Amino acid sequence: MRKWFVVIVSLLTLGVYAQDNDPFVSVNKVLKLMGTRFEITVVAANEEIGYININEAVAEIERIEKLISSWNINSETSEINRFAGMRPVKVSQELFDLIKRAINIAKITDGAFDITYASMDKIWKFDGSMKVFPSEERIKNSIAKVGFEKVVLNESELTVYLPEKGMKIGFGAIGKGYAADKTKKLLISKGVKAGLINAGGDLTSWGTKETGEKWLVGITNPLDKDKVFSWLPIVESSVATSGNYEKFVHFKGKKYTHIINPRTGYPTTGVKSVTIFAKDAELCDALATAVYVMGVDAGLHFINQLDGVEVLVVDDENEIHKSSGVVLDKSTNFKK
């Protein structure tokens, strides 16, 4: 999944650079973690300290991946999934809390975001091999095991139970945001005064660049992905984007993406990309997926009711829709 919608502009000069009149330097590293492209930037007193901090960040992201990944058969997540329909599984406080927060997001989004989406039967193919639209009944049956409200959490025992065989949870739409937030917290606790963590397009920042300037996020023109048409500052906050999937399938004149609505079993339509702005990357990540599933009207209505959360949606026709709090530069031209 390529992410061209959100581009970091603070890193136009890659690597290490220092200002003559400022003892701080910015150190930057790009690497593949959690199956995605991570870019870690820290502002440090010198290059050596910066690289030590970056290594600490990498270790933290690797630790989180081990904990939450459903690909890793030894993760707590895999254990929960393996014992679905059999017995509750004891987990760490960290995973328990993540699941609890994910279920709260599922509640407020009415299941548009739902970690049990992973229980869906994979009846849709997006590689062109699917010639017939699945029957109503197959679609309905495909979501039979989905439902965040089925998950049994036992707070005092720290156990998680998926009550149906074949039921699964997955953190694909929240894990990168969580990892970004958690890494930022770790670096702050180590005394890193500023930085930017970009987890495959989901990013979070603190402090300012070594020059004192704000970190900026570039919003790319949906009609020309090489052109940025607006720079937005992110101050002690986060941004995440869902969408811009390269692969679409057409059925009955409609364009479908590979994100399935866990409530209906149908792939979503109408939305090209969703960018969420909020304090924490975890919430941004999850809500971007939720709004993607909800569609333009319901999604905007939903975000407008939340404090401290804003959204930009690009629809199928490349029209841009924004929540009430998004103030864009006058020079920003959103017309086609």
Which CB atom, from 115 or from 216, has the smaller least distance to ligand ADP? 115
Give the Cα separation of 282 and 226 in Å (integer): 27
Which CB atom, from 242 or from 244, has the smaller least distance to Mg ion? 242
Which position among 114, 210, 280, 282 is part of the footprint of ligand ADP (CB under 6 A)?
114
Largest distance between two CA atoms of the chain = 68
Which position among 91, 173, 197, 294 is part of the footprint of ligand ADP (CB under 6 A)?
173
Q: Rounded to 5 degrees, what are φ and ψ at 179?
A: -60, -40
Structure token pair of residue 7:
């581009």
Site for ligand ADP in 231-260 (CB under 6 A): 242, 259
Which CB atom, from 77 or from 289, has the smaller least distance to Mg ion? 289
Name 250's bridge partners. 255
**Cβ atoms of 109 and 283 closer than 8 Å:** no
Which position among 1, 31, 59, 73 is part of the footprint of ligand ADP (CB under 6 A)?
1
Q: For helices 47-68 and 175-189, what crossing angle results, to 10°?
A: 140
Structure token pair of residue 15:
């690597």
Which CB atom, from 24 or from 113, has the smaller least distance to Mg ion? 113
Question: Measured in whole angstroms, how far is the alpha carbon of residue 233 from the centre of its chain?
Answer: 19
Which CB atom, from 184 or from 209, has the smaller least distance to ligand ADP? 184
Question: Measured in whole angstroms, how far is the alpha carbon of residue 139 from the centre of its chain?
Answer: 26
Task: Please name the residue that has the structure tokens 């393996």.
Answer: 82
SS3 call for 201: coil
Which CB atom, from 113 or from 277, has the smaller least distance to ligand ADP? 113
Using CB under 6 A, which of the segments 148-156, 161-169, 207-215, 281-289 binds ligand ADP?
281-289
**Residue span 175-204 as binding mask against ligand ADP, x where in contact by CB under 6 A, dash where not:** -------------------------x----
Using CB under 6 A, which of the segments 114-122, 179-187, 249-257, 319-327 binds ligand ADP?
114-122
Residue 7 binding target from Mg ion, ligand ADP, none, CB below 5 to 8 Å by type: none
Which position among 274, 285, 314, 320 is part of the footprint of Mg ion (CB under 5 A)?
285
Identity of the residue numbered 221: N
Q: Does 123 bind ligand ADP (CB under 6 A)?
A: no
Q: Does 229 bind ligand ADP (CB under 6 A)?
A: no
Which CB atom, from 26 or from 242, has the smaller least distance to Mg ion? 242
Which position among 24, 38, 117, 178 is part of the footprint of ligand ADP (CB under 6 A)?
117
Sequence-ordered strand ranges (E) for the chain: 6-8, 17-19, 22-33, 36-44, 89-90, 152-154, 159-161, 194-199, 202-206, 215-221, 224-234, 238-243, 249-251, 254-256, 271-278, 310-315, 320-322
Report the length, in residues, of the chain.
336
**Residue span 117-156 as binding mask against Mg ion, x where in contact by CB under 5 A, dash where not:** ----------------------------------------
Which position among 10, 75, 289, 323 is part of the footprint of Mg ion (CB under 5 A)?
289
**Cβ atoms of 117 and 260 closer than 8 Å:** yes
Using CB under 6 A, which of the segments 11-19, 127-135, 166-174, 313-321 binds ligand ADP?
166-174
Q: How far is CA 12 from CA 16, 17, 217, in A?
A: 11, 11, 12
Give the Cα separation of 9 and 13 in Å (integer): 9
**Residue span 288-307 as binding mask against ligand ADP, x where in contact by CB under 6 A, dash where not:** xx---x--------------
Contact positions vs ligand ADP (CB under 6 A): 1, 113-115, 117, 170, 172-173, 200, 242, 259, 262, 285, 288-289, 293
